[in-house]
Structure 1
Amino acid sequence: MARMRQPRFKTCRRLGINVCGHPKAMKRADNGQVRDKRKLSSYGIQLLEKQRLRAYYEVMEKQFKIYVKAAIKDSETTGNSLIKKLECRLDNLVYRTGFGSSIRQARQMVVHGHILVNGKKVDRPSFAVSVGDDISLREKSRKNKIFIDNFLRNVDFSYPYIAKNEAGFSGQLIRMPERHEAPIEVNDHLVVEFYSKTI
Structure 2
Amino acid sequence: MARFKGPRLKIMRSLGVQLPGLSRKKWDERKAYPPGMHQGRHRKKVSVYGTQLREKQKLRFNYGLGEKQLRRFVDMSFQMRGNPGENLLQFLERRLDNFVFRAGFASTIPAARQLIVHGHIKVDGKRVNKPSFLMKKGHKVSLHEKAAKFNHVQASLEQLALVRPEWIGFDEGNKDATVVSLPNRDSVPFPIEIGQVIEFYSK
Q: How does the TM-score come out when normalised to structure 2? A: 0.89
Q: 1:45 aligned to 43, 51, 65, which one?
A: 51
Q: Is the alpha carbon distance of 1:142 and 1:76 closer, same or farther for their aligned partners in structure 2, counting shifts above 3 Å?
A: same
Conserved? CA contact 2:103–2:164, under 8 Å: no
Q: Is the alpha carbon distance of 1:189 and 1:162 closer, same or farther for their aligned partners in structure 2, counting shifts above 3 Å?
A: same
Structure 1: gaps spanning 5 or more residues: none
Q: 1:161 aligned to 156, 159, 167, which one?
A: 167
The CA distance in 1 between the partners of 2:104 and 2:152, in whole Å, is: 11
Distance apart, 1:156 and its partner CA = 5.7
Conserved? CA contact 2:77–2:84, under 8 Å: yes
> Hey, what does 1:3 align to over in structure 2?
3
Distance apart, 1:28 and its partner CA = 7.2
> Hey, what does 2:12 align to over in structure 1?
12
Report the secondary structure of 1:44's partner residue. Answer: helix
Q: 1:55 aligned to 58, 61, 69, which one?
A: 61
Q: Is the alpha carbon distance of 1:32 and 1:64 closer, same or farther for their aligned partners in structure 2, counting shifts above 3 Å?
A: closer
Structure 2: gaps spanning 5 or more residues: none
Letter of the 1:182 counterpart: V
Distance apart, 1:3 and its partner CA = 3.2
Q: CA RMSD in A?
A: 2.0
The CA distance in 1 between the partners of 2:34 and 2:76, in whole Å, is: 37
1:177 has 2:183 as partner: yes
1:86 has 2:99 as partner: no
Q: How does the TM-score come out when normalised to structure 1? A: 0.91
Percent sequence identity over aligned pairs: 37
> Hey, what does 2:74 align to over in structure 1?
68
Larger deviation: 77-86 or 26-35? 26-35
Report the secondary structure of 1:93's partner residue. Answer: helix
Superposed, 1:91-110 pairs within 5 Å as 91-110=97-116
